[in-house]
Amino acid sequence: MKKGNLKTRHKLSLLFIVITYFTIIMTAFGCDDDEYEVKIEEQSKDIVVKTGDVLIESYIGNGVQWDPYPQAYRYWNKPIQDADWNKMYTRLDYMKPSFIRVVFGSYDKYAISGVDNYEPTAMYEGLGKILQYCQDNDITVMLGDWGYNQVDSNQDMIFESRIDNAVNYLDYLVNTQGFTCIKYYTTINEPNLNGSAANGNYKVWKDATAYFYDKMVDAGLHTKVKLAGPDIAIFNDNDVSWISNTETDLGDKIDLYDIHTYPSKGALFSGEFEALLDAYKSKMPEGKQAVIGEFGFKYETGTSIIDKELSSENLNNINTDPFIGIDSNTLVDQYIHGVDLVGLNMKIINSGFAGAINWNLDDAMHSSSTSGQDLKIWGYWNILGEELLGNPEKETIRPHFYSFSLISRYMQKGSKVYNVEVPELVGLDAIAVEKDGKYMIAINNMSENEYHLNFSLDNGSELSGLKKFIYKEDNRLTDANGFPLPEEQNLSIGKGKEISIQSQTLTVYTNFDF
């Protein structure tokens, strides 16, 4: 499909979503066409940062999932070379993620030589380098285990000796290797799903997690690392009981509530996605923070025209390339993905979640086979593009690095997040962040419309000394590494001053010094 034809299709599909969205709203409010036209004409174009209304007092951070390349080291004989590690470090230095999720299989530590020969140094290099980077850069790590071979969901059994090994390995990382960056731990990845280690069995996840916690106490780890959970992946509201049951059954053994979400694009326009997040967030106990441990797009879950088209395009890409596995989002190569991804991230933030981790950093992390084919294409690059694919171009950064790195870079650990009053304009989202008297105002526009907004803070002040970045399809400014450069500097906004937001762009204003 030629680029021009694809863009036209996306415009028509977005128009359908917009029409559907307006129809839903008109029906909900009992408005006929004339009444709704009046509402649009009278709608405010003011965007107001509510400095007196703090949404999140201390944000943990935005970041990515960065797993330790188990197949590259174990099956492909393609260990990551120092030049490629350094390339990734340089890119992450710009992104400045505050929150990274790392998942491994503790069973790998004994699967090579047998359960009775557990060896913590097996398959360590990749994990060690990732954790060392996080340690050196004060990044909060949520470490997790896939959980396989630790439970039997069919018999409601947990294998205590194997969970003992998992706790021993955490002890090795924290106390022997000294990785104080590990703040949270999850016992089984996405336990509510069929095919996970728990295979949807709440009881075995609960029992394994409770046992893991008790062994942490025995080892004195519980004061250094807190458990997060239930780490479920949500696609509808069928699993809200996992949240309420976790609180009832595990109580303070769970310090951080963590869920994963992969909406369709259409759900971001209809209000369906925010409603789904609220269904789970509202069940979480007050006083405990909640994060999204994985987020990305699953177009095949949507029913809108655009989701069907994007799903078809993605499936076609998968079927025509043996290196692409079925669990992939091949549209990460497209510019528009960088706009959509930030729109998704902003909706997560504005729903009150205190951290968000994008799946994932690198295509080379995972494959559904041992051959090096069937890669999970979701990343910002494939660091083994040259070594594995014979294509060094695959190692270059994709467009969405530009947009997401801005949201990660200027939303550091401990940031205060304010509520933002945003006009009900299609595709428009905004966040406002402050730390140590410095601000980031980010406005994302997923629609084909250009918006002119009057920006102000509720305290009447003006923000000055601002840099302005724009993630746009053509002529976006970058340095030699492909990292974002500001379009303008030393700007001031506030007191109702008009700002223009181009169609399908992310605009970031910030006076942070970096």
Query: CA-to-CA distance for 133 and 63, rounded, in angstroms?
Result: 14
Question: Mean per-residue pLDDT for 318-338?
Answer: 97
Q: What is the CA radius of gyration of the chain?
A: 23
* 25, pLDDT greater than 60: no
Distance CA 366, CA 72 (A): 8
Q: Where does residue 182 rank: exposed (0-12), middle (13-18), buried (19+ CB within 10 A)? A: buried
- Whether the per-residue pLDDT at 345 is higher than 80: the answer is yes
pTM, two decimals, is 0.92
| Residue 257 predicted with pLDDT over 50 | yes
By residue count, the chain amounts to: 514
Q: Would the pLDDT of 232 be above 50?
A: yes
In percent, the amount of the chain with pLDDT more than 70 equals: 89
Q: What is the pLDDT of residue 358?
A: 98
Using one digit for the tens of pLDDT, what is the confidence trace for 171-225?
999 999 999 999 999 999 999 999 999 999 999 999 999 999 999 999 999 999 9
Cα 62 to Cα 325: distance, rounded to the nearest angstrom: 27
Amino acid sitting at position 377: I
| Mean pLDDT to the nearest integer, 352-356 | 98
Q: What does the pLDDT average to over 301-324?
A: 95
CA–CA dist 382, 333 (Å, integer):
12
Better pLDDT: 369 or 112? 369
Structure confidence at residue 19 (pLDDT): 42
Which has more pLDDT, 507 or 106?
507
Using the predicted structure, report yes or no on whether residue 332 has a pLDDT greater than 90: yes
- As a whole number, mean pLDDT of residues 337-355 equals 98
Query: Which residues have a Cβ under 8 Å from the Cβ of 170 and sit 6 or more positions away?
Result: 143, 182, 185, 216, 221, 225
For residue 290, which of 233, 344, 353 has the smallest C-alpha distance? 353
Distance CA 487, CA 172 (A): 47
Q: Which of 17-31, 262-276, 396-410 has the lowest mean pLDDT?
A: 17-31
Q: Which has the higher per-residue pLDDT, 371 or 62?
A: 62
**Would you place residue 26 in the very low, low, confident or very high pLDDT band (cuts 50, 70, 90)?**
very low
The percent of the chain in helix, strand and coil, each rounded to the nearest 5, is: 40, 25, 35
* Cα-based angle 387, 389, 391 (whole degrees, multiple of 5): 85
Whether cis (ω within 30° of 0) applies to the bond prior to 230 is: yes
Predicted confidence at residue 37, as pLDDT, reads 33
Q: CB count, 10 Å around CB of 157?
A: 14
pLDDT of residue 107: 78
Helices 335-350 and 272-281 sit at what angle, rounded to 10 degrees? Answer: 40
Q: What is the pLDDT of residue 18?
A: 45
Partnered with residue 102 across adjacent β-strands are: 143
Tell me if residue 464 falls in helix, strand or coil.
Answer: strand
Residue 36 has pLDDT above 90, yes or no: no
* Statement: residue 377 has pLDDT above 60: yes
| Cα separation, 398 vs 382, whole angstroms | 10
The CA distance from 419 to 268, in Å, is 19
- Output the pLDDT for position 114: 56
Q: What's the whole-number mean pLDDT along residues 408-435? A: 97
Q: Residue 32 above 50 pLDDT?
A: no
Q: pLDDT, tens digit, for every residue of 79-131?
A: 999 999 999 999 999 999 999 999 999 876 655 555 556 788 888 999 999 99
Looking at residue 126, its pLDDT comes to 96
Mean pLDDT of 267-272: 96
Residue 434 has pLDDT above 70, yes or no: yes
pLDDT above 70 for 44: no
